[in-house]
């Protein structure tokens, strides 16, 4: 009887240990894949957009940051993110598919809000020239706000995909309020 009891105990312990090892392994792999996916999004979308804004701030009196330049970059990024969501992410069936979709949604919303912010508030290149929307220059304060949003990506996207909040960045009212604040700061 003693030998049977020790065999049962050993079997139960082996099952429990293997189950725990499997759970830990799955958690580690989930973390690894999410982290890798997040880094890919950050490198492909966030860093490239951040570089556009940072180059503008470094060259204060140099090249202007035109609204059209940002719109081209953003439009391409949103198309790529939409394609990824519709054609790739919706067909994943892994433990981390939900997180991938949430990261994609947050990234699209962030880039969309930056586009809205840049579209709604800009300066004109030359007041004596005829109005040309494509030659409008994005205000430096808007550039700083966009950079702030991009710099907070890593922290905010983690909160979003872990369901710590469900609000995606800014809504139209908040963007309008931000623009009014910038106008007051500039004394317009």
For 133-147, write each residue's pLDDT tens digit.
Answer: 555 667 777 888 888
Domain boundaries, the chain: 32-186
Task: Say if CB 85 and CB 102 are below 8 A apart.
Answer: no
Work out the burial of residue 38: count CB atoms within 10 Å of its CB; fewer than 13 is exposed, 13-18 middle, 19 or more buried: buried
Q: Which residue has the higher pLDDT, 93 or 22?
A: 22
**Closest listed residue to residue 111, CA positions, set 146, 136, 137:** 146
Query: What pLDDT score does 138 carry?
Result: 73
Task: Say if CB 34 and CB 89 are below 8 A apart.
Answer: no
Task: Say if CB 137 and CB 64 are below 8 A apart.
Answer: yes
Q: Which residue has the higher pLDDT, 45 or 125?
A: 45
Q: Confidence class of residue 169 from pLDDT cuts 50, 70 and 90?
A: low
């Amino acid at each position: 009887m003693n030998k049977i009891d020790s065999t049962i105990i050993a079997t139960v312990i082996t099952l429990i240990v293997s189950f725990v090892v499997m759970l830990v392994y799955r958690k580690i792999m989930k973390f690894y894949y999410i982290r890798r996916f997040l880094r890919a999004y950050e490198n492909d979308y966030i860093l490239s957009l951040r570089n556009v804004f940072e180059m503008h701030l470094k060259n204060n009196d140099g090249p202007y940051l035109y609204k059209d330049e940002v719109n081209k970059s953003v439009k391409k990024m949103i198309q790529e993110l939409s394609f990824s969501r519709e054609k790739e992410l919706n067909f994943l069936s892994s433990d981390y598919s939900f997180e991938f979709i949430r990261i994609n949604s947050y990234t699209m919303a962030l880039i969309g809000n930056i586009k809205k912010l840049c579209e709604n508030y800009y300066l004109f290149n030359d007041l004596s020239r005829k109005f040309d929307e494509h030659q409008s220059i994005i205000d430096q304060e808007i550039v700083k706000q966009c950079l702030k949003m991009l710099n907070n990506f890593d922290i905010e996207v983690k909160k979003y995909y872990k369901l710590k909040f469900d609000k995606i960045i800014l809504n139209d009212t908040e963007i309008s309020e931000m623009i009014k604040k910038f106008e007051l700061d500039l004394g317009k």
